[in-house]
Amino acid sequence: MVTAPQNNDGAEWTNARAAKRALTEAFEDAGIPFAENDAGEIIEAATRLDRTAIIIRGMEPLTPDVSATINDYMNRRLSGEPVDHILGWREFYGRRFQISKDVLSPRADTETLIRGALQRLDKNAPQHLLDLGTGSGAIGLTLLAETEHTQLLATDLSAGALNIAAANAQSLSLQSRTKFVKGAWWDAVPNTARFDMILSNPPYISNDAMKGLETEVLRFDPDLALRGGDDGLDAYRLILAGAKEYLSDAGWLGFEIGFDQAEALTELLSNEDWSEISVDRDLGGNDRAVWTKKTPFHLG
């Protein structure tokens, strides 16, 4: 464990630029990835200055309170706490989402699912969306924010997660178009409901792979949102067991997947119930989302 720079004489925290340099060095010495980015986010949060303001005002003296906050955030990061948990939020698709230990912190890879959904949604007609296992609400709420005529039903087994998602809906002024329901997968969905799009980023990490996850993930992301069973596909099977009943005839079903799960999930979909199966890649070139529609029913 690297000893954090202290503020005994105020030299390290003379100003925001000096503080950022010191934090970056401490994080690099500790082997923390993206050290400069983490240092920048901490300084911006503690000083309440954005990057542009730090360029302009970064040499101004820091108050004792701000200096103490920087010290606190730095020590928490050095102890292994992720920056988004230190700050209590994470940016996703250009918006700030509140997070906690009750939800999976939204990742940039999940924006692949957002891009695919926006390509497939009819933005000129009322659309009903279902976000299964919503967590922070990042997927469903982002799609509401990007469209005008959509309504969202978001479910989760965790009451704590639903509280976070509801707070995010409130902060984004989307609460009037959103309903949150507690329950496991289809148990939370009314029998008569039908949706133009069903989305989920379910737990998909296999039991064996869970053993190799980074300590930060295991400590701060909920096991409920990560563990996908022996092969990582348990949640997909449960969702597919009911999806056809709740999806409209022209509707889309979209999943986030692990980078190595496209073939396995495509096999689960390769039957008479599903058609138009496609795989979208994330910005890193990895398979990240699978899309499909119900096979049209034909008489004869």
Task: CATH 3.40.50.150 in the chain: give the residue spans.
Answer: 107-294
| Range 230-249 average pLDDT | 95
Q: Are strands 150-156 and 127-132 parallel, antiparallel or unpaired?
A: parallel
Q: Which residue has the tokens 């994470």?
A: 90
pLDDT of 251 strictly over 70:
yes
CA-based angle 180:184:187, to the nearest 5?
85
Task: CATH 1.10.8.10 in the chain: give the residue spans.
Answer: 16-87
Q: What is the pLDDT of residue 3?
A: 41
- Band of residue 12 on the pLDDT scale cut at 50, 70, 90: low
- Band of residue 272 on the pLDDT scale cut at 50, 70, 90: confident
| Range 218-224 average pLDDT | 89
Over residues 156-197, the pLDDT tens digits come to 999 999 999 999 999 999 999 999 999 999 999 999 999 999
Q: What is the pLDDT of residue 193?
A: 96
Mean pLDDT highest for which of 9-23, 187-201, 285-299? Answer: 187-201
- Band of residue 13 on the pLDDT scale cut at 50, 70, 90: confident
% the chain with pLDDT above 90: 82
Q: What is the pLDDT of residue 299?
A: 39
- What are the start-end ranges of the H helices in 102-179? 111-120, 138-146, 159-171
Q: Which residue has the tokens 């889309």?
A: 252
Q: What is the mean pLDDT of the chain?
A: 91
Over residues 76-112, the pLDDT tens digits come to 999 999 999 999 999 999 999 999 999 999 999 999 9
The separation between CA 123 and the C-alpha centre of its own chain, rounded to angstroms, equals: 23
pLDDT of 10 strictly over 50:
no
For the segment(s) 16-87, the CATH number from 1.10.10.10, 1.10.3720.10, 1.10.8.10, 3.30.2130.10 is 1.10.8.10
What are the backbone dihedrals phi and psi of residue 165, each rounded to the nearest 5 degrees, phi first? Answer: -65, -40
Sign of CA dihedral 135, 257, 127, 240: negative
| Range 48-73 average pLDDT | 91
Q: What is the pLDDT of residue 297?
A: 66
Q: Is 61 exposed, middle or buried (0-12, 13-18, 19+ CB in 10 A)?
A: exposed
**CB–CB of 182/155 below 8 Å?**
yes
Distance CA 116, CA 111 (A): 9
Task: Please state the pTM of the whole predicted model.
Answer: 0.90
Distance CA 76, CA 17 (A): 20
pLDDT of 11 strictly over 60:
no
For the segment(s) 107-294, the CATH number from 3.90.550.10, 3.30.310.50, 3.40.50.150, 1.10.3720.10 is 3.40.50.150
